[in-house]
Every structure is written in C-alpha cells, then in structure tokens.
Structure 1
Amino acid sequence: MTGPDPSAGSAPLAALLARRRHLQAEAEAITAEIRRRGLARTANLVGELGERLTLEVLGGTLQPPGAKSIDLIDGAGRRVQVKTRELPAGQLRHFQFGDTELDFDVAVCVRFDRATFHVDWATAFDRAELQQLVTPHASGPRLPGARARDHGQDLTDEFRAAWARLQGGDVPGRRREVRR
C-alpha cells in the first residue's frame, strides 16, 4: 500500500511549505504588534483576548500570566477563571479546566468564530453551577461546549460591545437564544 503522492496537486510541496513559513511569520508579527499595544501578554492570543474582554466587562485587575486557576480579580473582588475558544462555525468543543477543585468564584467562557473572529457567545458561571455542568476527565473537569453556551449568565451582548470598543467600532452579530 502506498500513501498519497506529495507532488500531486496544483502547487509543488516546496512552494506550499514556503508559503506556510511566510504565513507563520506574518502571524507572529501580528501577535507581536498586538502584544506591543498591550492587548496580550503572551503568545496565546485567543486566551489573552478573552481575558481582556472579561476585564472590560467585569472590571478588576488581570493576574500575572501563569497564575494558578485565576485570570483576574473582578470589580466585585471575585476570583475569575476565563476559558476562550476560537472554533469553526457550528463546532462546540469542550472547555478544559485544569484544577480539579475548580478553585475560583466565577468561570467565564467565550467563543469566537474562527472565520470572522466575532464573539459568538459568552457566559459566566458561579462555581456551584459549574460543578453541576462539568464532566470528569483525567486532565481535570470539562465543560461541554453546548452546556457552556446554553447555561450560565449570558454576557454575549456585553462581550460584543467590549469587543467593538477594543476594535474601535461595531462588531456585527445577533444575540444567541438561551435554551434552558
């Protein structure tokens, strides 16, 4: 049995790899510029933007990168964990929590559409509600995407407004329906 022919297709493999290197360099330059502007502190751009939006919506203070279980202390003094996903339209993957104790007061889940980078939805959970919704896993509790979308406090409008402010304009999108 033989595998696919690497030379098949419209572009030679060497050209495809060269284009990939160019795109990676562009992505790194964009991330560096976003970090220079103070919108991200690490290379985890999607996670950093989720944390920044949460800060804009809830107020408070961001914690240092790598702080265990807590991304920010909000304006009410609550310890907040932020989970952010950037996914293709229609995909609902889980949100992974690494702390088996869920050692925070509030969890915020934010989902960006990968193609448009619009905020699809954002929800917040207190620890008691989150404990009822997560499923156990060897890596720590997981919150299935559909549960994250359909439960909790809907903050979609607030996050879209914050996202529009950070971008300097309006972000199109409609409010999601909450199914309980």
Structure 2
Amino acid sequence: MTDGIAPAELARELGASQRRIRAFLRSQWGKLDTWTTRWVLTEEQITAVRGHFASDDAKRPLSDIDVNDLLSQYAEILSELRARGVCRTGNAPLGDYAEYLAQSVYGGELAANSAKSYDLIDAAGRRVQVKARTVSPQTSPSSVFSVFRTFDFDVALFLVFDQATYELMWAAELGPQEIEAAARWSSHVNGRLLRVRKARELGVDVTARFDAASV
C-alpha cells in the first residue's frame, strides 16, 4: 500500500496507542499479517478507526479485546502481583467467570447471593453448584475445590482452568451423594473437601459442551 496513514500517525492524531488501534482492526478484519513500521491503513480502515475512537466504546480501552485475552492478561497481572507479595492467590475473577459459563451452557438463571447450596437453576430446573479453580504444572495432586458445607443441590459442575491463560482444561458433573462419599471431612473448614483429581475421575465429562462457550 502506498496511500493512507501509518498507524503511528493515526495513533498520535487520536491520542490512542497503536496497540489499541491494532486490537480494533483485528476485531474488524481478523489477523493483521502486514503490521510493520511501513504499513499504512486503507481509507476504509482509517474511517472505521476514527469512527470507533470517537464513540463511547473508546472510553473503554479494553473493549476490543476478547474475553480469553482479557483473562490471560489478568492472569499475568495476578502473577506479577503475587511475585510482589500483593496477592496470594490466582483465583480472583474465577468464580464469576465460571458461573457465567455455566449459565451460557445450561441456560436458566443465576441464584441470588443468599443461596448457599447452589449457584444456578438451569433451563431443566436443576439446582447447580458451580466449583472452579485454576491449576498449573506445579499444582499439588492433593489440591481441592472450595469447601462443601451443604448438599442441597442436584448436580455440581466442576470447571478447571489453566492458571497461566485461563483457558478451560476440563469440565465435569458429579451428584451430591457421590461427592459426599468421595470428599473428606475437614474440621478446620467445617465441611467436606473434594480433590480435583477425584472430581475428574468420578465426574461425567462435559468439557465439549463448554468449549464453544469459553470465549
């Protein structure tokens, strides 16, 4: 291309970073293989970029980044915060994201925060308890999900994500009686703890249903 404006020049004009401009262009045109210092934008791209950055969406700097990339960046930020001693875990946004995925796949409505035994009443009327955690190659084989103190639900959904990228690794369902039998009692937390490995071994694999939803 010989006509148009270079990304750096347009970035200065709009007061935006080249990274944000590139993210927007990718959201509209897909992968940009020609992103080089000599690359200039087409008139169509220039018009689209100017229109976008003049809109309300431009007030949200991350609005062009998809969910997986946002979570991956969040994981990197949490990792750095842990290295600095600011945070101690990597699970901060996980619960809400897991419930979001569960509702996307199963339908229904999320339960009120006051509901202690389940998180979702799905489209089939099932009371679904959602458990999620991240794992890494360093995660202990004895790692557990958060505590079960009551079993007043129809099925528990277990979602396990890669700690470095927040990509879904697997999803499984398990009934309350099976969980109660397989989980160990802990007086320290006044409830039962189920190992991640046990949930994987005993649960019904539903990963394929969630692959399309985790975007």
Q: Give distance in 1, aligned partners of 2:136 and 2:152.
A: 30
**Aligned residue type for 2:159:** V
CA drift at 1:66: 4.3
For 1:125, the aligned partner's letter is: L
Structural RMSD (CA): 2.3
Per-residue CA deviations over 1:104-163 (Å, capped at 9, x if unaligned) read 111111110011211011111111222222111122111111001122110111112210
Q: Which has the larger radius of gyration?
A: 2
In structure 2, the residue matched to 1:135 is 184
Residue in structure 1 matched with residue 147 of structure 2 by the alignment:
97
What is the TM-score of this pair, normalised by structure 1?
Answer: 0.62
The number of residue pairs the alignment matches comes to 125
2: CA distance, partners of 1:161 / 1:150: 23
- 1:45 CA displacement: 1.5
- Unaligned residue ranges in structure 2 (runs of 5+): 1-60, 68-90
Letter in 1 for 2:170: W
Q: 2:133 aligns with which of 52, 77, 85?
A: 85
Residue number among 161, 168, 171 corresponding to 2:212 in the alignment: 161
**Does residue 1:113 correspond to 2:138, yes or no?**
no
Corresponding residue for residue 107 of structure 2: 59
1:44 Cα deviation after fit:
4.5
After TM superposition, the score normalised by the length of structure 2 is 0.53
Letter in 1 for 2:116: K
Of all paired residues, the percent bearing the same amino acid is: 37
2:174 counterpart of 1:125: yes
Give SS of 2:152's match: coil
